[in-house]
Amino acid sequence: MQFKILIVDDEKNIREGLAASLEMDGYQVETAVDGDAALKRFRKGDIDLLITDLRMPGLSGEELLKRVVSETPGIPVIVLTGHGTVDNAVEAMRNGACDFLTKPVDLGHLTQLVKRELQRRELVLKHRRLEEELEHQKLFRTMVGTSAPMRQVFDTVSRAAPSKASILITGESGVGKELVADAIHDLSPRKQKPLVKVHCAALAAGILESELFGHEKGAFTGATSRTRGRFEMANEGTLFLDEIGEIDQNVQIKLLRVLQEKKFERVGGEETVEVDVRIVAATNKDLKAEIEKGNFREDLYYRLNVVSLLVPPLRERKDDLPLLISAFLKEFAAENGKTLEGIDDKARAALYAYDWPGNVRELRNCMESAVVMTRGSVITAEDLPPMIRARNDFGWIRIPLGSTLEEAEKIIIRDTLSAQGGNKSRTAVVLAVGRKTLHRKLAEWGENGED
């Protein structure tokens, strides 16, 4: 790591003498003639250590020190003091300087001091980077993925999460929209406050309205007391509206108002309630198409979609398969008390060849069933659900157009038999016919009917 040092002194000789010495030590050095110039340069960034004279025209060294330390806590600042002004140096240390040098400067001492402070600085920076890395891993711990499309998702999440902007997450069923919503909340300044989830499709229109906004006592039959809605529960936190495409027009209007004015009334109530809620919505519907059809309000769509986040289907990011597979294997092996070494090549090939219409959820279920089914310590293609295994295990059967039913049957039986290595019992199982039937047919065609 190459460090950059800024030296500030109004005396040219000192400035240049120190600079030359530190350059010889291998540092990058810049100089400034007074406090103002130094502060300007410092604010541009990338200075790792500051050496400043105390008494200078314009912005004094003391003042420069205070500003630099308050703007960049932890930055090492060494002050230079003239003879007999040790009191000033002590004061400077109190204000955040890490050490001082008296003039005339002992260059050997300077080298030592700078080396020590920069080593310390490097450790601090390394520690900070590690902490950031850990924090990132922690936040996305539940979300596996290193493919380019997923990195883009993580990047958008990291950038949008700290703001208050509404986020609309779209993507097919099972791609991980809810996990993305969790990550957004966890990465936001609201993470200590509640994340409240509402599955809009699961609730009938009337119920959804009172679920979201609460109701007053007597608002409808059965409303025996005032009840807070999810908006109030999510105050200062995040409200996740899942399957937003399913809400009816009435609720859409009310929702639009909350998004615009941050206010609403409980069902059957007059009192206006104000809330501070960050909205994250998700849908697997094409909302644009729903707007065209008149099912979804365009104004609401734009309010929700301040930041849009598309989670791509698994078939478009098969690079994520190895990580997802091993994460799920680990999870379900632990859950089932099994020790598993992994998955064999044939099984892996089958998982890659499959299209995953149910996305990550389907993969997760598939791995759970494989872990439960397997007898060995390695998952094989036979442990996978038939849907996934079928395509790969047996390849395709080609039947020429114009074949009769009998000819087609012959081809199906012969090809399956050959894919099963001539094993008639297994062929009968795959074709779901009795062994006797299979033998009879083979005998009819002049093939050996016996095993």
Ligand X SMILES: Nc1ncnc2c1ncn2[C@@H]1O[C@H](COP(=O)(O)OP(=O)(O)OP(=O)(O)O)[C@@H](O)[C@H]1O
* Signed CA dihedral, 231, 232, 235, 238: sign only: negative
Placement of tokens 């007074």 in the chain: 34
**Residue partners of 302: CB distance under 8 A and separation at least 6:** none
The Cα–Cα gap between 315 and 352 comes to 9
Q: Is 99 in the site for ligand X (CB under 6 A)?
A: no
Stretch that binds ligand X, among 70-78, 121-129, 173-181, 205-213 (CB under 6 A): 173-181
The verdict on 171 binding ligand X (CB under 6 A) reads yes
Residue span 289-328 as binding mask against ligand X, x where in contact by CB under 6 A, dash where not:
-----------------------------------x----
If the CB atoms of residues 79 and 175 are measured against ligand X, the closer one turns out to be 175
313 binds, among ligand X, Mg ion, none (CB under 5 to 8 A by kind): none
Distances (CA, A) of 257 to 191, 250, 299, 362: 25, 11, 10, 38
Closest distance between Mg ion and the C-beta of residue 206, in Å? 23
Sheet holding 28-32, edge to edge: 28-32, 4-8, 49-53, 77-81, 99-102
Closer residue to ligand X in complex, CB, 277/282: 282
Query: How many residues at the interface with ligand X, by CB under 6 A?
Result: 16
User: Which residue stretch of 45-53, 71-79, 169-177, 208-216 sits at the interface with Mg ion (rule: CB under 5 A)?
Assistant: 169-177
For residue 442, the partner it binds in Mg ion, ligand X, none, with Cβ less than 5 to 8 A by kind, is none
β 263-265/99-102 pair status: unpaired
Contact 4, 27 (CB under 8 A): yes
Question: Cβ(30)–Cβ(6) under 8 Å?
Answer: yes
For ligand X, the closer of residues 41 and 285 by Cβ is: 285
**Least gap, CB of 301 to ligand X (angstroms):** 18
State the minimum distance, in angstroms, from the CB of residue 178 to ligand X: 3
- The item of ligand X, Mg ion, none sharing an interface with residue 237, based on CB under 5 to 8 Å by kind, is none
Under the criterion CB under 6 A, does residue 177 sit at the interface with ligand X?
Answer: yes
Q: With CB under 5 A as the contact rule, which of the stretches 59-67, 170-178, 266-274, 309-317 interacts with Mg ion?
A: 170-178
Give residues 277-296 in contact with ligand X (rule: CB under 6 A).
284
- Helix 86-94 to helix 61-71 angle (10° resolution) is 20
Express the helix, strand and coil content of the chain in percent, nearest 5 each. Answer: 50, 15, 35
Answer with the entry of Mg ion, ligand X, none that 65 interacts with (C-beta below 5 to 8 A by kind): none
Cis peptide before 385 (omega within 30 of 0): no
Q: Which does 365 bind (CB under 5 to 8 A by kind): ligand X, Mg ion, none?
A: none
- Residue 360 site contact among Mg ion, ligand X, none (CB < 5 to 8 Å, cut-off depends on kind): ligand X
Backbone phi, then psi, for 435, in 5-degree steps?
Answer: -65, -40
How near is the Cβ of 177 to Mg ion at its closest, in Å?
Answer: 5
Give me the residue whose beta carbon is nearest to ligand X. Answer: 176
User: Does residue 173 touch ligand X according to CB under 6 A?
Assistant: yes
Amino acid at 301: Y
Q: At a CB cut-off of 8 Å and minimum separation 6, what does 166 contact?
A: 259, 278, 279, 280, 281, 303, 304, 305, 306, 307
Q: Which of 361, 414, 426, 439 forms a contact with ligand X (CB under 6 A)?
A: 361
From CA 102, how far away is CA 230, in angstroms rounded?
65
Q: How far is 300 from 281, CA to CA, in rounded Å? A: 11
CA–CA gap between residue 396 and residue 415 (Å, rounded): 9
Using an 8 Å Cβ cutoff, are 33 and 57 in contact?
Answer: no
77, 79, 144, 347: which one binds ligand X (CB under 6 A): 144
Please choose, out of 21-29, 174-182, 315-323, 403-411, the segment that lies near Mg ion by the rule CB under 5 A: 174-182
Q: Which two tokens stand for residue 347?
A: 């099984």
Nearer to Mg ion, 338 or 361 (CB): 361
* Contact status: 178 vs Mg ion (CB under 5 A): yes
* Tokens encoding 52: 């400043």
Name the CA dihedral angle for 112, 118, 123, 127, rounded to a multiple of 10 degrees: 160
Residue 176 binds ligand X (CB under 6 A): yes
Residue 179 touches ligand X, criterion: CB under 6 A: yes
245 contributes a contact to ligand X by CB under 6 A: no
Which residues sit at the interface with Mg ion, rule CB under 5 A?
177-178
Which residues sit at the interface with ligand X, rule CB under 6 A?
143-145, 171, 173-179, 284, 324, 360-361, 364
